[in-house]
Structure 1
Amino acid sequence: MSSIPEQELEYHYSPSRWSHRMSPQEVLESHNKVLNEYTREAKWCLDVEADISYGSTEKQKLDVYTQKNSAGKKGSPIFAYIQGGFWQETSVGRENAGFLAQPLTAAGATVITIGHELCPDVSLDEILSEVKQAMYFIFKLAKERHSSGIYLSGHCAGATLAAMMLAASFQDDDAFDSELIKGAVLLSGVYDLRPLVKTSVNDPLRLTEEDAWKLSPANFVKDIARHSAQRDVLIAVGEYDPPEFRRQNGELEKSLRDSGVRARYMDIPDADHFNMVEKLCQPSYSLTKECLRLMKLPNK
């Protein structure tokens, strides 16, 4: 649990205030611009199956990115990505999460970006249920294409959701489903939600401290470990991420490793909370290379 005084939590859980490159407003505007620009480029250069519904609501949709004329390729790994935004931000989401698709698909992966409804229209608990529902669609696609495995990923709040999927049981329909998840890349997530209760982030979430702990990956380390004995988990932060984010990511990595999970911690130099993921559009970026290595794909 955080030792930060309650009156300082707002500052410590506002990543835009910690950028070394720009003012808070500038870094947010730049982030959205980069995501939009490189997602547009990916949609132009790649085959995209867009707006695939996995549920009944408008935001319960997926986009599937593959290299041109390779949608039927058998055996490729699936990289399933969830964008951040503290489960409420409308300017980031599935629609501009394809920015990372080009270098991953060039190496042979299928990239799927996952959308979900936002708070306060739904609760965080409902969002988790939606993402789990999306996973059943991804399992079906993985089996149809004889995929070598599914690799979960997310940034910030998306990393929280991805981590919770590592703790989930997917054996209601097919006992093989959970085994299809081979690893995860968790990018600067929040894994103990209790500090957020005392910040403005919680205004649309409406979490009590008890609710927050029930929805925190840190509360499910044993479940993650039980399902993840054969999985590889990479946890990454930027040098200029808020210290609280760095602490939470380091603690989760240690807890998982102590519980027998093959977890690794990656500290990315000269990167803040935002450009650490923006650079995933670059094949030569260290984190891009780690994603490919995790999926056992060639680094070109």
Structure 2
Amino acid sequence: MSRGRWRDMAAEELQQQYSPSRWARRLRGDAAVRAHIEAVTAGTQRARAGTRSSLHVPYGEADGERLDIYFPAEPSETFPAFVYIHGGYWQCLRGIYLCGHSAGAHLAAMVLCTDWTEFGVVPDIRGAVLVSGLYDLEPILHTYVNDALNMSWEVAQRNSPMLCITQAVPAAAACEVLVAVAQHDSPEFRRQSQEYSQALRSAGWSVSLLDLATVDHFDIIEKLSEDTYILIQVILNMIARG
């Protein structure tokens, strides 16, 4: 499915393509979203109980601009930072590794295409894990998602990672990018992951595409708490190489 094929879809089909809960395997609709929230909340509680943490650290002035920091169990002077950005359609400088899910993957991808020299910094981003993400926002304009976002076409174009990929400079080429997608993601989510990874590769980025069998848009990220899960193994190997 090429980038323009979504324009041939009827409005109802496009709504379904960008409604991940309609493609979930275990539950459907709101039940799938509630189960996902329960799963990640339980995982967060386990993490807080088992590690040192600094919670609700502000990085901006708005109430929602907070992050939780979890420290390694063993004291260390230096350690990699793994930054996870949750999904939710944007509503709900040691070595840095980014990880984003769904709309969070879009935000992580935007970090990759930002010209940080304009801000006087060169962050040491060594790896990025983009899970079931959105990299072309134009189709979103024609779905229920934009009822709340109210994006214009210009805003969607300006904030589509697919459209702002730059040729990889040496620092970017050293950043390993993993684009992961679920077998049971919608065809549109799968198309976006495939086309974005190919576009990065064509621009000289070090990128691989991981198509994960048996999982859907939600448990592809929920299973990160399982030591034997292939995605967590790939992430740990990426960090070890860095």
TM over 0.5: yes
The answer to whether the 8 A contact 1:6-1:198 is kept is no
Q: What residue in structure 1 maps to residue 209 of structure 2?
A: 265
Distance apart, 1:208 and its partner CA: 1.6
* SS at structure 2 position matched to 1:26: helix
Q: What residue in structure 2 maps to residue 3 of structure 1?
A: 5
Alignment match of 2:166 (pick from 214, 222, 241):
222
Distance apart, 1:51 and its partner CA: 1.2
Q: What residue in structure 2 maps to residue 240 of structure 1?
A: 184
**Structure 1 residues without counterparts, runs of 5 or longer:** 90-138, 143-148
Q: What residue in structure 1 maps to residue 154 of structure 2?
A: 210
Task: Calculate percent identity across the aligned residue pairs.
Answer: 37
Looking at structure 1, the residues matched to 195 and 71 of structure 2 have their Cα atoms a distance apart, in angstroms, of 35
1:116-131 map, 5 Å = none
Alignment match of 1:38 (pick from 43, 47, 57):
43
Is the aligned partner of 1:19 residue 2:21? no
**Alpha carbons of structure 1 residues 2 and 9: separation in structure 2 relative to 1, 3 Å:** farther
Looking at structure 2, the residues matched to 6 and 211 of structure 1 have their Cα atoms a distance apart, in angstroms, of 23
Looking at structure 1, the residues matched to 152 and 197 of structure 2 have their Cα atoms a distance apart, in angstroms, of 26
Question: Root-mean-square deviation (CA), in Å?
Answer: 1.5
Is the aligned partner of 1:159 residue 2:162? no
Distance apart, 1:173 and its partner CA: 5.8
Distance apart, 1:6 and its partner CA: 4.2
* SS at structure 1 position matched to 2:46: helix
The answer to whether the 8 A contact 1:16-1:25 is kept is yes
Count of residue pairs the alignment pairs up: 235
Distance apart, 1:221 and its partner CA: 1.2
Distance apart, 1:29 and its partner CA: 1.3
Counterpart of 1:163, as a letter, is A
Distance apart, 1:38 and its partner CA: 1.0
Is the aligned partner of 1:289 residue 2:202? no
TM-score of the superposition, structure 1-length normalised? 0.75
* SS at structure 2 position matched to 1:51: strand
Alignment match of 1:77 (pick from 76, 80, 98):
80
Q: Any idea what the Cα deviations from partners look like across 1:94-126, whole Å, max 9, x if unmatched?
A: xxxxxxxxxxxxxxxxxxxxxxxxxxxxxxxxx
Distance apart, 1:210 and its partner CA: 2.2
1:130-169 map, 5 Å = 139=93, 142=94, 149-169=95-115
Looking at structure 1, the residues matched to 180 and 98 of structure 2 have their Cα atoms a distance apart, in angstroms, of 14
The answer to whether the 8 A contact 1:156-1:190 is kept is yes
Distance apart, 1:230 and its partner CA: 1.3
* SS at structure 2 position matched to 1:64: strand
* SS at structure 2 position matched to 1:3: helix
Looking at structure 2, the residues matched to 213 and 172 of structure 1 have their Cα atoms a distance apart, in angstroms, of 21
**Alpha carbons of structure 1 residues 69 and 263: separation in structure 2 relative to 1, 3 Å:** closer
Q: What residue in structure 2 maps to residue 186 of structure 1?
A: 130
Alignment match of 2:69 (pick from 38, 61, 64):
64
Looking at structure 2, the residues matched to 281 and 65 of structure 1 have their Cα atoms a distance apart, in angstroms, of 14
Distance apart, 1:25 and its partner CA: 2.2
Moved over 6 A (4+): none
Looking at structure 2, the residues matched to 84 and 154 of structure 1 have their Cα atoms a distance apart, in angstroms, of 7
Counterpart of 2:25, as a letter, is H
Looking at structure 2, the residues matched to 55 and 151 of structure 1 have their Cα atoms a distance apart, in angstroms, of 21
**Alpha carbons of structure 1 residues 256 and 173: separation in structure 2 relative to 1, 3 Å:** closer
Looking at structure 2, the residues matched to 75 and 277 of structure 1 have their Cα atoms a distance apart, in angstroms, of 27
Looking at structure 2, the residues matched to 189 and 219 of structure 1 have their Cα atoms a distance apart, in angstroms, of 15
Distance apart, 1:26 and its partner CA: 2.0
Q: What residue in structure 2 maps to residue 274 of structure 1?
A: 218
Which deviates further from its counterpart, 230-239 or 61-70? 61-70
Looking at structure 1, the residues matched to 208 and 139 of structure 2 have their Cα atoms a distance apart, in angstroms, of 24
* SS at structure 1 position matched to 2:89: coil
Counterpart of 1:206, as a letter, is N
